[in-house]
Homo-oligomer: A and B are copies of this chain.
Amino acid sequence: VPTIKDVADRAGVHAATASRALNSATRGMVNTRTVTRVLEAAKALGYAPNSAARSLRTRTSSVAGVIIPDLRNPVFPPIVRGIEDGLREAGYMALLGNTDGDVDRERELFDAMRGRQTDGFILATSRRDDELPATVPTVLVNRRTDTGAVPSVTADNDAGVRMLVRLLVELGHSRIGHVAGPRQLSTGWERYRAFVDAVGGAEAVTFAAAFTEEAGFEAALRLLDAHEGLTAIVAGNDLIALGCYAALASRGLRVPDDVSVTGFNDIPFADRQRPGLTTIRIPHYDIGLESARLLLARIANPTAPAKRIVLPVDLVTRGSTGPAKN
């Protein structure tokens, strides 16, 4: 494997000069003719810089750490894909890690990645009360913290829930319940707050332990037991909504004839459910893309104020919502 020394020798210059010629930022200080000589030599030898040596010297790596709860949750693949494309625009690559929501594992991963000279982090794992170390550029994606001290890219949870409630009200529903996501997560909390605000009251609400179908099923049963006569349920996200489907079926209730159900996220295959799920489409890919760009901006200028980017959402009406009974 050729080193910069080999390139320099072949071009008849010193290694330092070759380095300057090879690096576009410093190329200006080098004679045009020597630049071409160096570039030719590099090409002829198939030279590729040793990034370990470069990282050691410059303390940068062009690698970002991406930490998510679980790639198998269908929200994340398109987000991660967007992140990767955004990073690539600047020659960055993504080091990926899953935590399964385990705080210790997150800490471990974070440290391990930082040890690998990661230039920054994109986290999809944060809880509302997280205190994140301000030592390394970090961006939150999909979720955020209460303080807003860390830059974030999220979907407009508030507007989304309002759209859903408005739709249900227009369909004649007045007894609307909410199976919320976890309180500790901004996604769960913001949607809950928006729901309470939109319907003007917080009676008919239960919280699911996680954004999963199982937790949604369990919380939906609790909701149904505590509140008779609900004609609609706003679920914290699509997976919880599917849990609601199952809970309603187990109680002999039909969707949407007896109870309408809505989700949030519009995950792949939400349209294929039985019935198709009325939900809020969030721009998964763009959320990822923007978070990558925000991180890159952050790396370039770490002291800039923490931006919060909120992307607009769309209502997608499908078969799971219908006119209120009676």
By a beta-carbon cutoff of 8 Å, the part of chain A in contact with chain B is: 48-53, 55-56, 61-63, 70-72, 74, 76-78, 80-81, 84-85, 91, 93-98, 111-117, 268-269, 272-274
Q: Taking the nearest CB of chain B, how far is it from the CB of A117, in angstroms?
A: 5
| Contact with A117, one of B51, B84, B114 (Cβ below 8 angstroms) | B51
Q: Provide the main secondary structure of the chain A interface.
A: mixed
Point out the residues of chain B lying under 8 angstroms from A76, CB to CB.
77
B269 touches A117 (CB 8 A): no
Point out the residues of chain B lying under 8 angstroms from A77, CB to CB.
71-72, 74, 76-77
Q: Report the separation of the CA atoms of residues A137 and B117 in the bound assembly, to the nearest whole angstrom.
A: 23
Given A77-B77, A95-B93, A268-B72, the answer on whether A52 and B55 have CB atoms closer than 8 Å is: yes
Given A78-B72, A269-B269, the answer on whether A112 and B93 have CB atoms closer than 8 Å is: yes
A53 touches B56 (CB 8 A): yes
Q: How many copies of this chain does the complex contain?
A: 2
Point out the residues of chain B lying under 8 angstroms from A272, CB to CB.
269, 272-274
Q: Taking the nearest CB of chain B, how far is it from the CB of A29, in angstroms?
A: 24
Q: Report the separation of the CA atoms of residues A78 and B77 in the bound assembly, to the nearest whole angstrom.
A: 10
Residue from A71, A80, A84 whose CB has the most chain B CB atoms within 10 Å: A71
B51 touches A116 (CB 8 A): yes
| Contact with A94, one of B55, B95, B111, B273 (Cβ below 8 angstroms) | B95
Interchain residue pairs A-B with the least CB separation, the first 3: A52-B55, A48-B115, A269-B269
B63 touches A84 (CB 8 A): no
Given A269-B272, A274-B274, the answer on whether A50 and B84 have CB atoms closer than 8 Å is: no
Can you add 16 more A-B contacts, CB < 8 Å, to A48-B112, A71-B71, A71-B78? A48-B111, A48-B115, A52-B53, A63-B95, A63-B116, A76-B77, A80-B96, A84-B97, A85-B98, A91-B112, A93-B95, A93-B116, A94-B96, A268-B269, A269-B269, A272-B274
A-B contact pairs, 20 of them (CB 8 A): A48-B112, A49-B115, A51-B115, A51-B116, A53-B56, A61-B116, A63-B116, A71-B71, A71-B77, A71-B80, A71-B81, A71-B84, A72-B81, A74-B77, A76-B77, A77-B77, A93-B116, A94-B96, A269-B269, A274-B274
B117 touches A52 (CB 8 A): yes
Q: Report the separation of the CA atoms of residues A50 and B116 in the bound assembly, to the nearest whole angstrom.
A: 7
Point out the residues of chain B lying under 8 angstroms from A269, CB to CB.
268-269, 272
For A77, give the chain B residue with the smallest CB separation.
Answer: B71
Q: Report the separation of the CA atoms of residues A94 and B96 in the bound assembly, to the nearest whole angstrom.
A: 6
Q: Report the separation of the CA atoms of residues A55 and B274 in the bound assembly, to the nearest whole angstrom.
A: 53
Point out the residues of chain B lying under 8 angstroms from A91, CB to CB.
112
Q: Report the separation of the CA atoms of residues A157 and B55 in the bound assembly, to the nearest whole angstrom.
A: 44
Q: Report the separation of the CA atoms of residues A325 and B62 in the bound assembly, to the nearest whole angstrom.
A: 60
Q: Taking the nearest CB of chain B, how far is it from the CB of A51, in angstroms?
A: 5
